[in-house]
Amino acid sequence: MQWPPGRNTASSVRAVPAVCYAVIVLGASVVEPPAGGLTPTGPLGLVGVDKWVHAVGYATLAVLLAYALRATTTRRLVVVAALAIAYGAGIEVVQSFLPFRAFSLADALANAVGVSLVVIVGLVSRCVTRVRSGRSGSD
């Protein structure tokens, strides 16, 4: 007998990396940050390293969610984006209640940028695959 009933075990296993990573992100987001923090300027000198960490961290979450959800359609990629962005926003709200953390719209935006880049790459990849195979259409 399969447990839980009606669930595909292979699909459930695909979710394990995303769930584990989400737990790690939550844990890292609610502990007191190290003294001194990160260096003020990141690559290219445009934004701080912390924003790059947010973007890469949430891009990674989006990739893992896409794998878990077998996000090969536009609809599923949109679901991936919504889940990852909502998770990041939720963590920012949780941080607003912690004495050593604060809500940061800039962090939430960096999270969304990382997720959006993954979704854009997924959509472009999907279009290229369709063009190469001679198929067209939408889902």
Alpha carbon distances (Å) from 118 to 48, 102, 112, 125: 21, 26, 10, 10
Q: What is the DSSP string of 44-63?
A: GGSS-HHHHHHHHHHHHHHH
The answer to whether position 123 is within a domain reads yes
The answer to whether position 4 is within a domain reads no
For residue 83, the tally of other CB atoms under 10 A from its CB is 18
The pLDDT value recorded for residue 41 is 64
Calculate the average pLDDT of the chain.
87
For residue 52, the tally of other CB atoms under 10 A from its CB is 18
The answer to whether position 39 is within a domain reads no
Indicate the number of domains in the chain.
Answer: 1
Q: What is the pLDDT of residues 65-112, one digit of tens each?
A: 999 999 989 999 999 999 999 999 999 999 999 999 999 999 999 999
| DSSP E strand stretches across 38-133 | none
Average pLDDT over residues 123-131: 88
The answer to whether position 138 is within a domain reads no
pTM for this structure? 0.83
The answer to whether position 139 is within a domain reads no
Domain of 20 in residue numbering reads as: 13-30+57-133
Contact 92, 108 (CB under 8 A): yes
The answer to whether position 19 is within a domain reads yes
